[in-house]
Chain A
């Protein structure tokens, strides 16, 4: 960690006692955030007062109380709408929305996709533990088909959302994925998310130690992680594995895992990650990769520039005001047809 930043992680710790369960993945994500904010502040020249953390309801939504910034703990599902209001009201603020798979994708699904569609410049950290934790263990919109939970004692019978697919389907311009235990990667992605103008969605695979323990462990446990995940970085080859000997190629219209140096595949055949490509085709395939056929993609999968909603709102107002004949309420009241009574 660079020591010469203006702020330290300590500056971003609030005086509130952190009340998540011991072993909850949220603790690591909080560390990653507190570690990323000093770097973001230096990179983008932000003062600490500029940050606003907004959340809905759920375990993750307690987050704003634990960060020493401005904070707003909203109601269930509505964080995207509240964040939108904050950002449009004052576009200078750096708005961070903390949400979970229930909050963002079930009750708040509508607000979530519309925020993404509008490309408002907010950063959404979506903690995905595939369960409702705060209400004690009911299935969520991302629970795997067949999941046994308190409200699905015989297994769920519904297909889960894949957040990346949903984001890209809603014309999302920035989608990244991380895992709670990798504090370094999460904070690296957060810096990229902050730098991106527009809605940045970062899905963080997070463990609920009480109600859905080890739901991601097949993928992220240390001994297998390098073989079952791939960290994507723009401009770098899509390779993975303990020995960095596996890679992704395009075979027909699909992705395929190959062993480098075997079956006639060399490093030249391996795809190079282009996060900036406007065409979402490959990004969608990368976001949807699932173990065991594929490694799960981590890192910034999609990062495309476009105009933002908050800029457009502000610019349109300024544009209209420039040539406006009506400059005050008195002008307004006298505009149009009027008459005198003498």
Chain B
């Protein structure tokens, strides 16, 4: 009897994988997203994992999750709530049930729902479904552990390897539910375990067995069909996360400028992957130094910049605090430097693996003295590439440090990315002093950008000295002259302000004027856009003004703000950008929507808030 489950056509669907942090849920989620992207769906992902590498097994603290949204037209967020939850143990179910849409499908590994497992997860009874009040959900109890053992009993693998494969059994089940082809994932096994054919075969078998099991049990209430996205622009695509994109953007800036890339860094969550990726790129001549601390990270980079490399340092909030003094050194020596801050929850160690946008003030103001620098923010995983490239271009052409803000959400999140062609990117022309230049003055400036020139050690005729003491306006030698200090302070500020002339004007999504302008910056773009799109479909007068250029702000901001009845600034902090805008454009009234829960906004809460504002509540 071939009684196939009913297939439901959907525009988009959200699935969440969850399990112990050792259960391989990040990999499972990634494989599912990759297969969907290769299938032609639009994809957006969000890994949600604990800061402990292996928290006590089976506890709620140790649950690792991975959410993915797939659609037949562009999806901008990983989705607020999921249609399908995979929970590999009772703790995963307990921790994630709040993210399942009412009545949604939940697949659990029945073999883990024993007394011990339930107890570890903090259940009081032996009936998790009743305790969580999810009787109305479609909960599928599958004996995933036992079935995996059965599937692999003739493969000659040790018990540990067998148990580690149960995530692939679950993935197989999910592939059936979402009508995914298996071949993309099979190819992954082949390339990943090239030298271990027995592992390749075992993984393939368990994946297929999971798929067939789901097809046969007739407990699956329905399957989903999400057709390939048709509106996707033509081109070659790949999946990319924000950290990899940022690393590659830096390499692109190095290639365009013709200067070697130097990265001085120190591991810190969630920025480490940038250093890891750059360390692999010795094939492109990248020099990475994992040094003794955050301060050495930026100071080696400053030394390298002085010596003529394109220098960068990568970090997150606590590391940025340690770099503050040296950022001032880069400002006063007027050397190019890119500092990437992948923001996480603070203060102090805070929430290392969770996202937040609360480093904005630190980046803008957290240094001694009058110490302006360029601040930009990426807003999607893919455009981390563009803004890292741009950070390099601005730093080198304007002779100043640039901070690029990203956050844990876009750094770890992935999306299909149309691969750009480097010939379409602008050239980078740093003001490098030629050897043998006569009458060289280290702090003389070009009129257009007010940038001083870059004089590499080793070249004849341009020997000079720079440092952290105030400089003479032209010669760069030490000066304690009061008027000179005023002049230098003014020109350092004017140089950063002048960048306004070299960045695009601020754009607005939606109407040129209207009832409500939603204002955001950085990694909240996908959620804000989706919320605004939904409301516009309902005919509401809502537009989005999302910022990538923070300091300086684009030229036309003031004029944009004046055309809307209400302004609401939404950010994952307690109002830092809102206050920054208040300082810059005092004439407007800014409403705020803020959240610091270590999580992105949900579209639902945004839409609710905007409706309240429109209704004057």
Contact = CB atoms under 8 A, between A and B. Distances in A.
Contact of A70 (B283, B285, B464): B464
A89 B281 contact: no
Interface of A, secondary structure class, is mixed
B282 interface: yes
A75 B467 CA distance: 8
A317 B418 CA distance: 29
Contacts of A86: 303-304, 306-307, 457
Nearest to B423: A330
Interface in B446-500: 456-460, 463-469, 477-478
Contacts of A333: 238, 248, 419-420, 422
A321 interface: yes
B366 interface: no
B296 A114 contact: yes
Given A47-B460, A89-B303, A81 B465 contact: no
A24 B343 CA distance: 48
A144 B234 CA distance: 74
A78 B422 CA distance: 37
B38 to A, nearest CB: 5
B183 interface: no
Nearest to A85: B303
Contacts of A55: 467
Interface string A314-342: 00110011001111111011101111111
A54 B285 CA distance: 26
Interface stretch (A61-69, A181-189, A278-286): A61-69
Given A332-B248, A342-B234, A78 B420 contact: no
A93 B459 contact: no
Contacts of B284: 321, 324, 326-329, 332
Contact of B34 (A313, A317, A337, A342): A337
A52 B422 contact: no
Contacts of B242: none
Interface in B23-42: 34, 37-38, 40
Given A16-B477, A78-B295, A339-B237, A85 B304 contact: yes
Interface string B45-75: 0000000000000000000000000000000
A75 B368 CA distance: 13
B468 A75 contact: yes
A90 B237 contact: no
B235 A341 contact: yes
B300 A332 contact: no
A83 interface: yes
A195 to B, nearest CB: 20
Contacts of A259: none
A341 B233 contact: yes
A317 B282 contact: yes
A82 interface: yes
B283 A325 contact: yes
B299 A70 contact: no
B251 A332 contact: yes
B465 A72 contact: yes
B299 to A, nearest CB: 4
A150 B296 CA distance: 31
A9 interface: no
A339 to B, nearest CB: 5
Contacts of A54: 303
Interface string A237-269: 000000000000000000000000000000000
A87 B457 CA distance: 11
A330 B463 contact: no
A70 B463 contact: yes
B236 A334 contact: yes
A49 B460 contact: yes
Contact of B463 (A48, A88, A316, A334): A48
A88 B281 contact: no
B238 A338 contact: yes
B574 interface: no
A216 interface: no
Nearest to A336: B238
B591 interface: no
Given A65-B477, A83-B303, A88 B287 contact: yes
Given A49-B463, A114-B296, A330-B421, A89 B468 contact: no
A84 interface: yes
Query: Which of A47, A88, A328 neighbours the largest number of chain B CB atoms within 10 Å of its CB?
Result: A88
A75 B299 CA distance: 9
Nearest to B418: A341
B235 A75 contact: no
A305 B104 CA distance: 68
A321 B283 CA distance: 4
Nearest to B234: A341
B458 A92 contact: yes
A71 B465 contact: yes
A68 B282 contact: no
B176 interface: no
Nearest to A77: B295
B157 to A, nearest CB: 26
Contacts of A75: 299, 325-326, 329, 468
Contact of A340 (B236, B248, B293, B326): B236
Interface string B294-318: 0110011111111111010000000
A89 B307 contact: yes
Nearest to A334: B419
B303 A72 contact: yes
A137 interface: no
A78 B293 CA distance: 11
B348 to A, nearest CB: 21
Query: Which of A85, A114, A326 neighbours the largest number of chain B CB atoms within 10 Å of its CB?
Result: A85
Contacts of A327: 283-284
B299 A74 contact: yes
Interface string A82-113: 11111111101100000000000000001100
B283 A326 contact: yes
Nearest to B239: A337
Given A321-B282, A328-B255, A332-B284, A69 B291 contact: no
A329 B251 contact: yes
Contacts of B248: 329, 332-333
A112 to B, nearest CB: 10
A72 B304 contact: no
A72 B465 CA distance: 6
Given A114-B291, A313-B287, A320-B282, A341 B296 contact: no
B264 interface: yes
Nearest to B286: A317
A14 interface: yes
Contact of B292 (A65, A69, A85, A110): A110
A210 B545 CA distance: 62
Contacts of A324: 282-284
B467 A74 contact: yes
Contact of A71 (B252, B296, B304, B466): B466
A73 B467 contact: yes
Nearest to A313: B287
A50 interface: yes
Given A81-B291, A85-B307, A85-B311, A72 B466 contact: yes
Contacts of B466: 71-73
Contacts of A83: 303
Instruction: List the 5 shortest-distance A-B pairs measured between CB atoms, nearest first.
Output: A85-B303, A73-B467, A324-B283, A71-B465, A81-B299
6 contacts: A65-B465, A75-B329, A85-B311, A88-B300, A321-B283, A329-B251
Interface of B: 34, 37-38, 40, 188, 232-239, 248, 251-252, 255, 260, 262, 264, 281-287, 289, 291-293, 295-296, 299-309, 311, 325-326, 329, 333, 418-422, 456-460, 463-469, 477-478
